[in-house]
Structure 1
Amino acid sequence: MKKKGWKELPMAAVLPGEWSTEQFPTGDWRVERPIWDEEKCVQDLMCYLSCPDSAIKIEDGRMVGIDYQFCKGCGLCAYACPPKAKAITMVREGK
Structure 2
Amino acid sequence: MKGWNEFEIGAILFPFEAKGEEALESHNNERDYTLESSYKASVAHWRVEKPVHNRDICINCFNCWVYCPDAAILARDEKLSGVDYLHCKGCGICVDVCPTNPKSLLMFSDHTDNQNALENWPQKEDKKKN
Report the TM-score when normalising by structure 1. Answer: 0.77
Among 61, 68, 91, the alignment partner of 2:78 is 61
In 2, Cα distance between equivalents of 1:83 and 1:94: 25
Give me the TM-score of the superposition, normalised by structure 2. Answer: 0.58
> Alignment partner for residue 80 of structure 1, among 80, 97, 100?
97
Deviates most, 69-78 or 79-88: 79-88
Pick from 106, 109, 113: which aligns with 1:89? 106
Matched, 1:24 2:41: yes
Instruction: List, as ranges, runs of 4+ consecutive aligned residues in structure 1 with deviation greater than 3 Å.
Output: none
Unmatched 5+ stretches in structure 1: 1-14
- Cα distance in 1 for residues equivalent to 2:46 and 2:107: 15
Larger Rg: 2
1:35 equivalent in structure 2? 52
CA distance in structure 2 between the aligned counterparts of 1:85 and 1:60, rounded to whole angstroms = 24
Q: What is the deviation of 1:84?
A: 2.2
CA offsets 1:61-80 (integer angstroms, 9 cap, x no match):
21111000000000000001
Query: What percent identity do the matched residue pairs reach?
Result: 35
Partner Cα distance (1:69, 1:77) in 2: 16
The letter of the residue matching 1:41 is: C
**Deviation of residue 20 (structure 1)?**
3.0
State the 1:28 CA deviation.
2.4
More contact order relative to length (CA 8 Å, sep ≥ 6): 1
Counterpart position of 1:4: none
CA distance in 1, matches of 2:37, 2:109: 27
> How many equivalent residue pairs?
82
Q: Distance in 1 between matches of 2:71 and 2:104?
A: 18
